[in-house]
Amino acid sequence: MNSIDEHHRWVEWSGEDQVYVGKCPDLITGIHGDDPVEVYKELGEVVQEVIDHFQQTGRKLPAPRTRPMMEVS
């Protein structure tokens, strides 16, 4: 399994902001946009960049905590 697959990522609609929000709370606060497919693609790219940065600097990645079907606020 790749490191990116250990960290739960998803896209949801924000009625308040009127945009789709991509989230990966273990590693980043989120990204947003108008197209959910593009937001998910960009989210994967950003999360991979974060993982690469941790690896390049010799830092240990945070342990995955967020799991599907778990209430996240």
Q: In angstroms, rounded to a whole number, what is the distance separating the alpha carbons of residues 32 and 68?
A: 20
Number of domain units in the chain: 1
Instruction: Tell me if 71 is assigned to some domain.
Output: no
Q: Evaluate whether residue 68 is within a structural domain.
A: no
List, for residues 18-69, the tens digit of each pLDDT value: 999 999 999 998 999 999 999 999 999 999 999 999 999 999 998 888 776 6
28 domain residue, yes or no = yes
User: Is 43 contained in some domain?
Assistant: yes
pTM of the full predicted structure? 0.84
Strand partners, 31: 22
Does 17 reside within a domain?
A: yes
Classify residue 37: in a domain, yes or no: yes
Rounded CA-CA distance 38/54 in Å is: 24
The CATH number that applies at residue 51 is: 3.30.160
Q: Which domain holds residue 47?
A: 3-56
